[in-house]
Structure 1
Amino acid sequence: MSAVTKTAAATAAPRPRGGVVQSAKDSLVVAKRNLIRMMRIPEMVIFGLIQPIMFVVLFSYVFGGSISVGGSLSPELYREFLMAGIFAQTVTFATAGAGAGIADDMHKGLIDRFRSLPMARGAVLTGRTLADLVQTTLTVIVLAVVALIVGWRIHEGVLKMLAGFALLLLLGYAFSWIGALIGLSVRTPEAATSGGLIWLFPLTFISNAFVPSDNMPTFLRHIAEWNPFSATVQACRELFGNLPAGYPVADAWPMQNPVLASVLWSVLIIAIFRTLAVRKYRSAAA
């Protein structure tokens, strides 16, 4: 191969820059690109708010007086019990949007354009998940305001409240990596949306999010108690002070140590699915 040909090949396929600092910079650049795109398409954010607000209103007023919590059918107690589950459902359902966004980038050839740049391979996915985290944060803030309007209250102080929301956002960020892997594994954004929702419904409903798990059949109760979603919901209820008096706490380790279990589950999900997603991205861009 001549010197001119070697130079052309090197120019056509620049080597990615290494280093943690450079990778972080590349990730922030990609995150900025996605945030600008979200601001230019505000309906993405607006439609993302409609579903959780509907869940708050419907569950609060339709089921509020029908579900016993701590031996009481009080609608007020159920609203406080419910909100941690709605918050957790909201941050996890953002997974479908993350997967659809990445699938759309793949479909439009954006991944090929990123591949031609000398940037860290994992930065494309990290930037995308960080942008989704910002959008999820805005959604949770609006949802918290709606919850306060319908009667939800915090009883354990500001610091514990912030810790509860931090756990929620950590769970949402962890699940966004599952969405990234799904988005890289399908051919169209529509398939990514469907694939991102199919497994989320059993995950969120076989949990303690909407009803106490002690009333479930034995095998479902064990699944719910070891569900990472349930651990975060239980942790938030404790941190928000939303566990009613007399509420039975299961003997399962995640329910006895929900804060620690929530952190461990989220970190484990990030470690596994980030590795798989980056590997899938590299193979797709090879």
Structure 2
Amino acid sequence: MTAVTLSPALAPARRLGVTAGLRHTFTLAWRSLVQIKHNPMELLDLSIQPVMFVLLFTYVFGTAIAGSSGEYLTFMLPGIMVQNALFATMTTGFGLNNDLTKGVFDRLRALPIARWAPLAGRILADTVKQAWSIALLLGVGSILGFRVGNGVLGVVGAFALLLAFTLAASWISVLVGVLVSEPDKVQIFGFMVIFPLTFTSNIFVPTDRMPGWLQNWVEVNPVTVVADALRGLLVGGPVAGPVLQTLLWGAGIAVVFAPLAVRGLKRRV
């Protein structure tokens, strides 16, 4: 008789360390960035729309609202940066939902990588795109006549603050991305929530020029807080109060939505 030899049971895979997880995160983030060359419209959406907003509002409404297009550009550009950053967070939920519906996450789970790396890689890649969009707006604004009043430190502080806030706000997009069934529904959420949220702030019009009943909401609107913080850092004015409020808003959003998003993702995959 021929003896049948049973292969020994495979040893369970060891738990991956933080260093390996970070390496996987950077690899997947690079994957998301490289995809831009196959889908350039993704980057164009982050470039053309904000530039169009800057040009249209500066030269169509600038004189009527602020008396001159130059003064209005100084007031409006930091707010446009906030609006564009919030809309850009929707790309995180859109891309995440696209990966979920197409089975990309299922294939990634079969690989020996950290379980949190796919989500972290997506968020990291979108943060890089955010930085590109902020730099583009500042560059276009400088060509049109926008001048930074607080030097290099003000620019660096504005970059860091806006990226930190949008990083926290992206958890809302992640939650929407794991809850809806189609990527297009993430964009619908953006237009239904972010669009009115930004237009009922002081991004385009000073608060004191709005109806009294609306001013109460505008003053507590987190978009107003972030816009005021960027104006203080880039142009001049109060900085400590708006920056602290922005950080508190970001921390509050992350504390509420990050656990819900992670829980939803675990249920989805």
Provide TM-score, normalisation by structure 1: 0.84
Matched, 1:56 2:54: yes
Partner amino acid for 1:52? Answer: P
Q: Deviations over 1:217-255 (max 9, x none)?
A: 344222222222111110111111256xxxxx8xxxxx9
How many residue pairs get matched? 264
- C-alpha displacement at 1:127, in angstroms? 1.1
1:52–1:66 Cα change, 3 Å = same
Does the 8 Å contact 1:163/1:239 carry over to 2?
yes
Matched, 1:162 2:156: yes
Match of 1:224 in 2: 218
Describe how 1:78-227 pairs up with structure 2 within 5 A.
78-227=72-221
- C-alpha displacement at 1:19, in angstroms? 4.6
- C-alpha displacement at 1:199, in angstroms? 0.4
Does the 8 Å contact 1:17/1:119 carry over to 2?
no
Describe how 1:229-268 pairs up with structure 2 within 5 A.
229-241=223-235, 257-268=241-252
- C-alpha displacement at 1:262, in angstroms? 1.0
Give the Cα–Cα distance (whole angstroms) in 2 for the partners of residues 110 and 76 of structure 1. 47
Give the Cα–Cα distance (whole angstroms) in 2 for the partners of residues 219 and 119 of structure 1. 53
1:35–1:105 Cα change, 3 Å = same
Partner amino acid for 2:35? Answer: R
Give the Cα–Cα distance (whole angstroms) in 1 for the partners of residues 8 and 242 of structure 2. 57
Q: Deviations over 1:49-100 (max 9, x none)?
A: 11001000000000001114xxxx2322111000001111111110222221
1:109–1:157 Cα change, 3 Å = same
Match of 1:277 in 2: 261
Superposed structure 1 runs of 4+ greater than 6 Å apart: none
Structure 1 unaligned runs (5+)?
A: 244-248, 250-254
Match of 2:3 in 1: none
Q: Deviations over 1:185-233 (max 9, x none)?
A: 1111111211222100121111111111123334422222222211111
Partner amino acid for 2:31? Answer: R
- C-alpha displacement at 1:268, in angstroms? 2.3
Match of 1:40 in 2: 38
Does the 8 Å contact 1:16/1:119 carry over to 2?
no
Give the Cα–Cα distance (whole angstroms) in 2 for the partners of residues 225 and 6 of structure 1. 67
Give the Cα–Cα distance (whole angstroms) in 2 for the partners of residues 82 and 5 of structure 1. 69
- C-alpha displacement at 1:18, in angstroms? 5.0
- C-alpha displacement at 1:137, in angstroms? 0.9
Partner amino acid for 2:46? Answer: G
Q: Deviations over 1:138-189 (max 9, x none)?
A: 1221221111111111011111121012111222222222111111111111
